Structures are given as C-alpha cells and as structure tokens.
C-alpha cells in the first residue's frame, strides 16, 4: 500500500461510496498499461474496507477511455476506470462505468522549472499554453506560478489543461497568440500530438517529471511531418483503398461517412474492415495486391505511432481527406 501512495493518489472514499451506493458485488478495475503493476496494491487496499466485493482487473491494453469494452463491462456491477479523463467524443456514458482520478505525486522542483525558463528565454519565448496528461494535473499550477514569476505569460491558466492523443481541448484557440506550447508528459505521444495539430508552427516544449528533463521538440515534430507528407504523396494516385474501423468508442460513424462520400466522389474502389485490435499483424492478415492505401478511422495515432513503417501508406482520417479533397495544409487528427 505504501508503494502506491508514494507514487499515485486516488480518492478511496469516493470509490467505497460508489460501490456501496450501487450495492456492487463484482467490480472490474481498469488501469492504463503503465500503471497496471499497481493493481495488486490497489485491490488489497480496497479489500481492506470492502471485504464482500469481488475485484477483477482488466488485463487488456487500455490506452484511453475511448476503448471501454462494453462486452466485458456488462458482466460486472461496476467498472472503475482509473487514470483517464472521460472520453469527450462519447455521447452516452454508462452509469456502470466510473471514471476516476489516479494522480501522480510528482511535482516539478525548482531546478527543473528553472531549466524550463532558461530554455524559453534562450528560444525567445514570451508566451505559452500549458497542457498535461491526466496523471499530472496537479503539477499545472506549480508550472504556471513559476513561469509567471519569470515574466512568461501563460494563456490558458485555470482551465482546459488536459489533453488526449486525439483531443486537444482549446489548443488551437491560442495558435495566433502564443509562442509555444508546454506539455507536461513523458514520451513523445502527447507533445507530438500538439506539434502535429499546430503543424509545426510553434515551439513545442516537453516537461518530463519522471526523467526530470526539459526538451524542445521542434525538430522531432518537423521530422514526423515530413514522414506524414510522404505518406500522403504516396497515396495521391492510389485507386484501391481500405478503411479499417474500430469498435465501441473507436467506431466513428461520422468519419466513416465523410470518407466514403469522398471516395465515391473520386470514383475510388474501396474495402471496409472492422477490428478490436489494429496493428501490424492485423494489416498483414488482410493485406493483398488489391489494396494500395489503408486508412485507420479508429484512432489517428495508430498510423503515426504504430504503423509508420508499414510498406504501404497507412493514413489518419485527416490525411486521407487531404488526398481525397486535395487539401495542402496538414489536417490532424480528423
């Protein structure tokens, strides 16, 4: 139990209250993949109070609240989904799914914050908009306070700080008025998303609390944009396309309809597939000489992060629409 509280916090009283209120006897626990190793400690902590409740951990990959599997959830009285924001594109949320904070105890120290300021000053950055992943929400106010004490203006303080891989809140509202975007996260996934969204036109600064590092990712964003444009160019004359759709929260009917309409208008032959899992093996299993281009409608990050090295172009919905509607300006994500 000490291990969990040392690194992450959650509202155990709220969990107990919800389970009791719903008279739940079988409860499913969902955690992001990087946090699943805390599941045994979490269960032990809940069992100490809820001795009459059965807890089961969903071991399947969980990358976000977009891929809640109702075929699994329906077998439980309640699903506790930790560590993600509620999915904004979902119009209906099941009362059997409770989305809960799972927040990191890490806070940026003065040394790290001063590195951030130094990088901004040397890059002539005077304004920024700050975004973060769910786990680091508590760190945002520390960063804002320090930056403003050093005369760096934060444009979005107080609201809309959390981002996902395909959803970036109000980030574009600040495009014309900010010098930079500061993303509190580890890895490339979230800062790269902001970089693609803003088409590489702004400084992208990463504040990594786990590595205690500050990095400017302008060159990385530019590299990925070049790769994405090459995929688009290699799709321009393709006459046989395949659309691969997801399920549940990753089935996007509006995106499908727009793509199908555009394909028909161009007289392009296309095939459709649907899968709970979309990866290299999925494409290998369905690939044939009859297909020149794949479009993933499930998640726009799959072509970028997982299928970039596939030998045929694999496009996001936005990139596909660039080809089909002859749009030159990069579209991400949709």
pLDDT band at 93 (very low <50, low <70, confident <90, very high): low
Is the pLDDT reported for residue 2 higher than 60? no
The pLDDT tens digits of the residues spanning 111-152 come to: 999 999 999 999 999 999 999 999 999 999 999 999 999 999
Q: Please identify, among 179, 204, 224, the residue that sits at the C-terminal boundary of a domain.
A: 224
Query: How many whole angstroms separate alpha carbon 45 and alpha carbon 312?
Result: 48
Q: Helix (H, G, I), strand (E, B), or coil: what is residue 233? A: helix
- Looking at the structure, tell me whether residues 25 and 45 fall in a common domain: yes
The answer as to whether 93 is a domain residue is yes
The reported pLDDT for the residue numbered 92 is 61
- CATH code of residue 152: 3.40.50.11850
Does the pLDDT at position 4 exceed 90? Answer: no
User: Is the same domain home to 114 and 220?
Assistant: yes
Counting Cβ atoms within 10 Å, is residue 191 exposed (0-12), middle (13-18) or buried (19+)? Answer: buried
Residues 85, 173 share a domain: no
pLDDT tens, 160-201? 689 998 998 789 999 999 999 999 999 999 999 999 999 999
**7-60: pLDDT as tens digits:** 999 999 999 999 999 899 999 999 998 899 999 999 999 999 999 999 999 998
Of 193, 224, 255, at which residue does a domain stop?
Answer: 224
Domain that holds residue 293: 234-324
E strand segments, the chain: 8-9, 26-30, 54-57, 78-82, 97-100, 103-104, 127-132, 153-154, 180-184, 203-208, 213-216, 240-245, 269-274, 293-296, 314-315
Query: Tens of pLDDT along 260-304?
Result: 999 999 999 999 999 989 999 999 999 999 999 999 999 999 999
pLDDT, mean of residues 231-238: 97
Tell me the average pLDDT of the chain: 93
Whole-number pLDDT of residue 27: 97
* In the predicted structure, residue 159 carries a pLDDT above the cut 80: no
- Check whether residue 193 and residue 267 sit in a common domain: no
Q: What is the DSSP string of 314-333?
A: EE-HHHHHHHHTT--S----
Identify the band that residue 94 occupies on the pLDDT scale cut at 50, 70 and 90. low
Place 1 in a pLDDT band, splitting at 50, 70 and 90. very low
Model pTM score: 0.91
How much is the pLDDT for 238? 96
């Amino acid at each position: 139990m000490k291990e969990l509280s040392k690194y992450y916090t959650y509202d155990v009283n709220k969990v107990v209250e919800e389970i009791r209120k719903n008279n739940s006897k079988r409860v499913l626990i969902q955690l992001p993949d990087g946090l699943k190793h805390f599941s045994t400690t979490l269960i032990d902590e809940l069992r100490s109070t809820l001795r009459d409740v059965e807890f089961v951990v969903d071991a399947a990959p969980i990358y976000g609240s977009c891929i809640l599997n109702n075929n699994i959830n329906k077998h439980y009285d309640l699903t506790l989904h930790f560590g993600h924001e509620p999915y904004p594109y979902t119009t209906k949320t099941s009362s059997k799914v409770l989305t809960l904070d799972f927040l990191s105890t890490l806070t940026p120290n003065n040394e790290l914050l001063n590195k951030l300021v130094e990088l901004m000053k040397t890059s002539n950055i005077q304004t920024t908009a700050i975004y973060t992943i769910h786990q680091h929400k508590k760190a945002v106010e520390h960063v804002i306070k320090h930056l403003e004490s050093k005369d760096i203006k934060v444009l979005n303080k107080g609201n809309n700080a959390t981002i996902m891989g395909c959803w970036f809140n109000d980030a574009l509202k600040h495009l014309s008025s900010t010098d930079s975007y500061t993303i509190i996260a580890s890895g490339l996934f979230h800062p790269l998303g902001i970089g693609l969204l803003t088409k590489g036109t702004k400084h992208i600064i990463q504040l990594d609390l786990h590595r205690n590092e500050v990095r400017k990712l302008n060159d990385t964003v530019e590299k990925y944009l070049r790769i994405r444009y090459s995929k688009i160019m290699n799709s321009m004359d393709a006459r046989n396309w395949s659309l691969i759709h997801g399920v549940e929260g990753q089935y996007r009917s509006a995106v499908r309809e727009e793509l199908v309409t555009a394909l028909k208008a161009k007289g392009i032959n296309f095939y459709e597939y649907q899968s709970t899992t979309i990866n290299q093996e999925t494409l290998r299993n369905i690939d044939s000489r009859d297909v020149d281009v794949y479009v993933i409608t499930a998640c726009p990050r799959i072509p970028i992060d997982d299928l970039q090295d596939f030998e045929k172009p694999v496009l996001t919905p936005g990139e596909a629409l660039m080809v089909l509607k002859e749009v030159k300006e990069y579209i991400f994500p949709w």
